[in-house]
């Protein structure tokens, strides 16, 4: 099964000490997709943030390189929704606004629960 990983999803390992790839595999996902717009967002965050957030952005950028990067252009949230719909994929995100948009389109959402594990909060399409 495929999962698209949002910027803040890639930052979970540093911010909450959770192995997102191990957790995604536990949930049955084996194909990890990161839109190019997320890569660009991480590059910008690496330059603009400081301290632990900057470290999280650097690690997230490194983790993204281990995923299938899909060339995209446009606003990251819009791209993620379009890709999820097109690829019949779930989305890993903690972004509340994006989650609501995904849920309104019946796209499966995976998010952090109790700061120590990932959980799918919507059923598959």
Residue with token string 């717009």: 37
**What are the tens digits of pLDDT across the range 19-51?**
999 999 999 999 999 999 999 999 999 998 899
**Which residues, 6 or more positions from 76, have their beta carbon under 8 angstroms from its beta carbon?**
6, 7, 35, 37, 38, 41
Residue 75: per-residue pLDDT:
86
**Could you tell me which of 40, 42, 43 has the C-alpha nearest to residue 9?**
42
**What are the tens digits of pLDDT across the range 54-70?**
999 999 999 999 999 99
C-alpha 109/C-alpha 16 separation (Å) is: 18
C-alpha 38/C-alpha 103 separation (Å) is: 20
* For the chain, domain boundaries: 2-120
**If one looks up domain 2-120 in CATH, what number appears?**
3.40.50.1010
**pLDDT class for 91, splitting at 50, 70, 90?**
very high
């Amino acid at each position: 099964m495929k999962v698209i990983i949002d910027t803040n999803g890639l930052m979970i390992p540093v911010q909450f000490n959770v192995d997102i790839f191990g957790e995604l595999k536990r949930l049955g996902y084996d194909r990890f997709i990161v839109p190019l717009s997320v890569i660009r967002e991480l590059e910008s965050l690496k330059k603009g943030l400081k301290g632990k957030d900057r470290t999280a952005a650097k690690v997230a950028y490194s983790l993204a390189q281990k995923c299938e990067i899909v060339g995209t252009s446009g606003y990251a949230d819009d791209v993620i929704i379009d890709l999820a719909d097109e690829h019949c994929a779930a989305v890993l995100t903690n972004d509340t606004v994006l989650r609501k948009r995904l849920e309104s389109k019946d796209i499966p959402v995976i998010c952090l629960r109790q700061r120590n594990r990932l959980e799918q909060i919507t059923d598959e399409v």
